[in-house]
Amino acid sequence: MFSGRFDHALDDKGRVSLPVRFREVLTRESLDRLYITKAPFESEHCLAVYPPTEWDRLVGRLQQKPSFDPDVQNFKLWFLGEAHEVQVDRQGRILIPPRLREYAGLEREVTFAAIIDHFQLWDRARFDAALQLAEERVRKPQFLEKLNI
C-alpha cells in the first residue's frame, strides 16, 4: 500500500503536505481522513498515521484482547487515547495536533516513512538516527536469519 521515504516541512500552523505517492493511494481508495497517534521506536518517538480501513482493523484486533488485562488497558490508553482523526485538506495537507507534535519532537523538517499498511511521521534528524541504528542491526547475519527472509 505505502512505500518510500519522503522529506517535507511543517508550516507555522503545524500542517504538513502528504507525499504525492501517499495521496495517490488515499485518492484511489476515496479517503479524505487519517488517524494519527503516538508510536514508539526503540528509544525514539514518532507518529503512526493510518488510513481508516487499517485503523479499523487495528482497533478490531485490540478489541479482541482481554479488556481487564492491565497491559492492554495501558496500551489502549496510551495509543488510542492520544489518537486523532485528521482531515486531508484540498491541498493534500494534514494538521498535526500540538500534543502529538510535541511527543514526536516535530519542528520544521519532517520525514514520512512508509510501513506498508500505514506510515510514520518523524522529526528528520530523529529519523536519520533511527535509520542508521536499524541499518547497523539489519547488516548482522543473525538478524536476517531471525526474520527467515
Q: Where are the domains of the chain?
A: 5-124
Global pTM reads 0.90
Cβ atoms of residues 37 and 83 within 8 Å:
yes
Cβ atoms of residues 48 and 41 within 8 Å:
no
Domain boundaries 5-124, CATH class: alpha beta
CA 14 – CA 131 distance, rounded (Å): 24
Cβ atoms of residues 67 and 80 within 8 Å:
no
- Please write the tens of the pLDDT for every residue from 71-117: 999 999 999 999 999 999 999 999 999 999 999 999 999 999 999 99
% the chain with pLDDT above 70: 99
**pLDDT band with cut points at 50, 70 and 90 for residue 149:** low
